[in-house]
Structure 1
């Protein structure tokens, strides 16, 4: 009996040390303030065409979306959500922007990313996703997706994707010249409030929401009027998981589907850099 108890205790200890644990005190982890905004109908084709989007020339010169727009995301979101610009189907009462705090840390084996924001006032639109009042997702790229270094996750947004005007409901997000085996894809992690679970997928020639091996956990809660969601993701994974390593930087973008929204009716970030013990807009340092 004693031997059994000792063996069980040693087993539990081994499992406990292997289990990923986020920082005990997130207040000690540096935070980056990023404002998400409602993008309306602004797919990559509209952005790069140049006849309507004045920043197309700047992109061709190598500037990033954040270089031009990081200080005006609130204004852009308000104009778009109101229907004054590039949103033909505005939702009454929809907020134009959501300020979010982003924090990241790692333990040498697992990346932890925390998002926190205040719940916006409800709009007057229909519940597009009845099951989930809130969804949050982020995408990573290792420098293989064309345009991701300038636009974050925008390179997966196309004019023929579902919820875009005239697009087929079956057409999901995708990446130009996608090659899953060759690393040309976005790593995608998502948490859904209603289902209370995380999803580990990718965006290549289409969006796939499951199958990844890197996600350890995704947990969220609403404390008063403030949401906090923490993802734990192993550095190593499988097909559709970007391999992470200390000293490296990755293209990063994220989005919140608030108020039961789906498709383009979300709030999105511009493109940023996530550094793991490396320079970046968001820096994950070892805890």
Structure 2
């Protein structure tokens, strides 16, 4: 009897000490629907460029309220090819840079946690100098609630990318991603979560008037593995969030969603990015996280 009580007490202590230690992603991801999304190399296409009609033909559609994905979802790979090759809006093309990365995105939840899984085949390395020698790969996703960020409903993460952000031509290295008029207090921000392969850990931050890689309390776990040439990265994130810059996720609601992969030891704008999509929690959207 005494041994049983001790064992029960130890189990309780371990559970309390780890918070969501019992949280577990779906055991069989093959049963979870997958959305095929092509990430493209964006070149120099900040939000100022996509909204300028003399340079971007889609600017008129944006003004009418159309989403970038409505026009470009199936041609993301072709656009990436034009930019990676230097044919369009890339003044410093990187020889051998992958123009695009096809990714499968899966989502589910258990009433407490959201689970997001990204899988893709590793592109061939370009052979260019390693801009981030610590991390061959980084994966990040952003969430935005209520459309308070201008263009978040239409352009996804592009609202955080500006001509004066670091790694843009002529920009200061101290200027991070930001939201025009961004404010945590006013709810005008993106929730940002990132996993880094070399450091083998996740970061939970946000983008408002600047990018901050800490302060969030939603991230429970982030794991990634490379098997052969195939990557699989899984994020476990509390639905409730609860920290600075955390978006609370509720059943029946839809959120603005975008993600990026920094492949080939890339930093800054030299990543591959998705267009803007919608993530639904038990709700119809581009990607739906249904309760398991």
Pairwise same-fold verdict (TM > 0.5): yes
Q: Deviations over 1:77-103 (max 9, x none)?
A: 011001110000100100100000000
Q: Indicate the residue corresponding to 2:244 in structure 1.
A: 239
Q: 1:4 is matched with which residue?
A: 6
Q: 2:214 corresponds to which residue?
A: 210
Determine the C-alpha separation between the residues in 1 that align with 2:66 and 2:23: 37
Is 1:228 paired with 2:229?
no
1:19 Cα deviation from its structure 2 partner: 2.3
| Equivalent of residue 106 in structure 2, options 103, 106, 124 | 103
Q: Quick check: 1:93 aligned with 2:82?
A: no
Tell me, yes or no, if the aligned pair for 1:190 and 1:199 is still in contact at 8 Å.
yes
Q: Residue 34 of structure 2 aligns with which residue? A: 31
The whole-number CA distance in structure 2 between the counterparts of 1:131 and 1:107 is: 34
Aligned to 1:189: 193
**Alignment equivalent of 1:112, drawn from 110, 115, 124:** 115
| Counterpart mapping for 1:1-287 below 5 A | 1-2=2-3, 3-12=5-14, 19-142=22-145, 143-236=147-240, 237-287=242-292
CA distance in 1, matches of 2:176, 2:14: 43
In 2 relative to 1, CA 18–125 (structure 1 residues): closer, same or farther, beyond 3 Å? closer
State the 1:179 CA deviation.
1.2
C-alpha distance 89-233 of structure 1, shift in aligned 2 (>3 A): same
1:149-206 per-position Cα deviation (integer Å, ceiling 9, x unaligned): 0001110000000010111000000001111012110000000000000000000000
Does the aligned pair in 2 maintain the 1:91–1:124 contact within 8 Å?
no
| TM-score, length of structure 1 as denominator length | 0.97
TM-score by length of 2: 0.95
Answer whether contact 2:224 2:231 (CA < 8 A) is retained.
yes
**Cα pair distance change 1:169/1:226, threshold 3 Å:** same
In structure 2, relative to structure 1, the CA distance for the partners of 1:52 and 1:16 (3 Å cut) is closer
Given that 2:256 and 2:276 are in contact with CA atoms closer than 8 Å, whether structure 1 keeps it comes out as: yes
Distance (Å, rounded) in 2 between the aligned partners of 1:154 and 1:129: 22
Structure 2 residue runs of 5 or longer lacking an equivalent are none
Judged with a 3 Å threshold, the aligned counterparts in structure 2 of structure 1 residues 153 and 13 are, in CA distance, closer, same or farther, namely closer
CA contact (8 A) 1:105 1:112 kept: yes
**CA apart distance, 1:18:** 6.0
Deviation of 1:235 (Å): 1.1
**Number of residue pairs matched by the alignment:** 287
Q: How far apart, in 2, do the equivalents of 1:249 and 1:18 lie? A: 27
